[in-house]
Structure 1
Amino acid sequence: MSGGSAGNPFRQPKAVWAVAFACVISFMGIGLVDPILPAISEDLNASPSQVTLLFTSYLVIMAVAMLVTGWVSSRIGAKRTLIAGLVLIVVFSALAGSSDSIGGIIGFRAGWGLGNSLFVATSLAVIVAAASGGFSGAIILYEAALGVGIAVGPLLGGLLGHISWRGPFYGVAVLMAIALVATITLVRAQPKPARKTGLLDPIKALRHRGLLVMSLTALCYNWGFFTVLGYAPFPMGLHAIELGLVFTGWGLMVAIFSVAGAPWLQRKFGLAPTLYGNLALFAVVIFVIAAFTDNPAVLVAAVIVAGIFIGINNTLTTQAVMMVAPVERPVASAAYGFVRFIGGGLAPFAAGKLAESFNVHVPFLIGACSIVLGIVILAFGHRDLVRAERKQVEVDAHAREGEEDAELTEATEASTGTVS
C-alpha cells in the first residue's frame, strides 16, 4: 500500500473503481423496487404481503448463499466469482422484467439474490484488499458505493416505473452488463489461494462471541431497516415518481452519513457509544413512524430522516465486524451477511402479514422494538467493540506509514488468491 494516498478513500486504482461502480449498481437493486411496489400490486392483483416477497426471496436467498461465497471464491478466484455473480444478476433481473406473474417475479428475484450474494461478499473483500489508504478508507469507499446505489435506485425505479413496472428490472440488467464489462476489463485475475475456505467455516466463525453479537445485533437492526424500506411505500399512497423522490432523499442521507457522518462521530465519541446512541435514535424514528403511519407528511419526513441513522450504522458496523472476529475477513463477512440478511428478508413479509392481521401501525412498532433488542444484544459485546476499535486504529496507522498489516495480507490472500 502506498502511504501517499493514505487518508483519501477516493484515490484508488482503476480496479477498485470498477468494483465500486458495480457495487453501486448492485445496491441499486435493493431500493429499486420500492417505487413500483404499489404498481406491481395493482397490475398483478397481488396483496401487499405477496409483493413484499420481492424483498424476502431476494434477501433470504442472498443470506443463505452467503455461506458458500467464500467456498466458491477460494476455488475459482475472486474475479471469476465477481463475474459469475454479475452474470446471474443480469440474467435474472431481465427475466423478472419479462415475467407476467407475481410468483415468477419472486422466483427470479431469488436468482437475482443468489448473484448478488456472490458479488457483494466478494466485492467487499476485493476492495479491502486492493484499496489504497488503509482499511477505514476502503470501508468508507464501499459504504459510499452502497449509499449512492441506494440513493439512485429509487429515483431510477421511480422514473422507469412511471413508464412501466418492468422498466426498473430491465434498467438494472443493462447497467449490470456495463459493470460486467468493466470488471472483466479492469480487475486483474489472481491465482487461486493456497488455503481453501470450507463450507462450514462461516457457521463455525459464529462461535466467536464478538462476531455472533454483532451479527445478531445486525439481524435486529435489519428487521427495523427493511420494515421501513419494504412496507413504508404502501401507507404513503404516492405514485412511482413521488415514491422514487422520497426514497432518493432517504438514500442521500444514507450516502452522506456513511461517508462523512460516521467517521466524524466515531472520532468524537468512540465506536461503541456512537453505535448505542445511533441505534437508540433510529428506534425513536421508527416509533414515530409507528405512531404517525396514517399521516403521509410525517411518514415521509421520518423515512428520510431514518437514512441518517442507517448510513452511520452501516459504516461503523461493517468496520467492527471486519475487526472483531479472529477469522479471515471473507469468512467473517459471509457469517455476518448470512445472519443479518435473514432478518432483512423476513421483515417485509412479516410486516405485510402483521398489517393484514392487525393494523398498519403494528409492523413499525415491532420494527422499533427489534432495534431496542439489538441495543441490548450489542451490550454483551462491548469489550469486543473496544478491542476492535483499538485494532482498527493500529491497522490504519500501519497503512499511513506505508506498512502492510499482517491480517490485511492474510485477508488479501484469502479473498484474491495473492500468496506472499
Structure 2
Amino acid sequence: MSKPALDPNHHTSPDFGSDLETSQLTDRDAEMFFEHFDDGLYIGMMSGTSLDGLDAVLCRFTDDDLAPLHIVATYSQAFPPRLREVLLALCQPNGVQALNPAADEPNNEIDWFGWASRAYGEFASSVVNSLLQQANTSADDILAIGCHGQTIRHRPEWGFSLQLIDANIIAERTGISVVHDFRRRDMAVGGQGAPLVPAFHAALFSHATDARVLLNLGGIANITVLPALNNAQTVVGYDTGPANVLLDAWAMRHIQQSFDADGQWAASGHVITPLLNQLLAHPFFAKDYPKSTGREDFHLAWLDASLEQFANSTDATEHTPADVQATLTELSAIAAAEQIARFKNTHASQVYVCGGGALNSHLLSRLRAHLPDWTISSTKDLGLDPLWVEAAAFAWLARQTLMSETGNLPAVTGADKKVVLGQVCF
C-alpha cells in the first residue's frame, strides 16, 4: 500500500433526506442508497483504554487496491480533566463513589453515566469541528463519522459491552451522520464484540504472498495474524493483555506524568522476576483465543493488590517504583511475544506495531529481546502512522455499515456468523 497522501478533493454526500430510516427503503432504494457510500470522505474517532484523549482522522477510501486509504487530516485532543476523571471512575464498579460531586453534579452511578454520555458527545463534536476547520473541509462533504465511544464496561462472559456516547449530540452539533454501537451486534450472534480492528487490518494490510502480524499497543495489547492472501489460513486476532493501561497509571502515580515517555523511567529500573511471575499467573493469560479484556481485569487496584500479595510472600525483595515500571513493561512484552511466537508456522516473520506503545522504544526493545527471529517495525512502513490506525479503523467500519457490509471476523470474535455492525444516527 502506498503511503497515505493529502487528498484535496471533496465528495458530497447524496441527499436522501435527513429523516431517512433504512427500514423505509425499498429494495431498489436500498441498492441506490448503499452504492453511494463506497468512495468518499469519512471521519473515524477512537478513545481507547488508556483514556489519554480522543483521536480523529479524516480519510478517503477508494477502490484502488494499491492505495485504498488516503489520510486527509488528523486531530487529537486530551479529555477535559473532569470528564476524564468521571470516565475513569465509571470504568470500575462503584468507582463514582470516589468522586466529589459539585452542587450541580450527579451523585449516583446512573446519573453520572448520563452526564458523561452527554459531555462525551459535546467533546467529540468539538473535536470533529476542529478537525474539519483544520482540513478546510465542509461537514456536507463527509459521508459519516464512525465513533466508537468510550468503553466503560466489557463483559463478554455476560454477553455485553458498554460504550458511553450520545451520537445524537454529535449528529446535531456537526451536521454529519454518526455510526456507533459497533460491538453489540457481534455479541448478539455469540461473539465477544472484540477485537474489531483485525477486520480493518485484514482489509488494509494483507499481502499477496507475505504473512504478517499486526500488534496494537494501546491501553490493552492485541494481535492480528494476517496469512498471505494466497494462503487458505484464517485471520486470527485477540487481546494479549495489558500494554499501556498499567504503565500509564503507575507513571501518573509516581512521576506525575500521563505516560512514561519513551519508556525511559522503566529502563532505569530492574525487572522483579518473582513479581513478574506472579502477575503472569493472572487467569487471562492462560485462556485460549478468541479472548478479549480491558480495565475490568487490569487496573491499578489489581496491581496494588498484587504488590501487597508480593510483599507478604517469601519472594519479596527490596524494589523501587521504577523497578515496578520495568516489571510492568516486561509483562506487556512477554504477554504479547508469547502469543506472536505461536504463529511462526504461518511463515510470518514481520511484526508491525501500532498504537501509542509504538513510540515506547524500551517496550519495543523488550519485544525484540523475546522475539529474536522476528523483525519488528511500525505500521508507518505499511503507509499508515501507528497513532492513527484505530481511528482509521472506525472510519472504515462506518463505511462498512453504510454499505451494508459486514464488519466482524467470526474467527476473531467467536461470533456464529458475519454481521453488519453499528447503529446509524442520521
The normalised TM-score by structure 2 is 0.28
Q: Which structure is larger by alpha-carbon Rg, 1 or 2?
A: 2
More helix per residue: 1
- Please report the TM-score for the alignment, with normalisation by the length of structure 1: 0.28
Structure in which a larger fraction of residues adopt strand = 2
Higher relative contact order (CA 8 A, sep 6+): 1
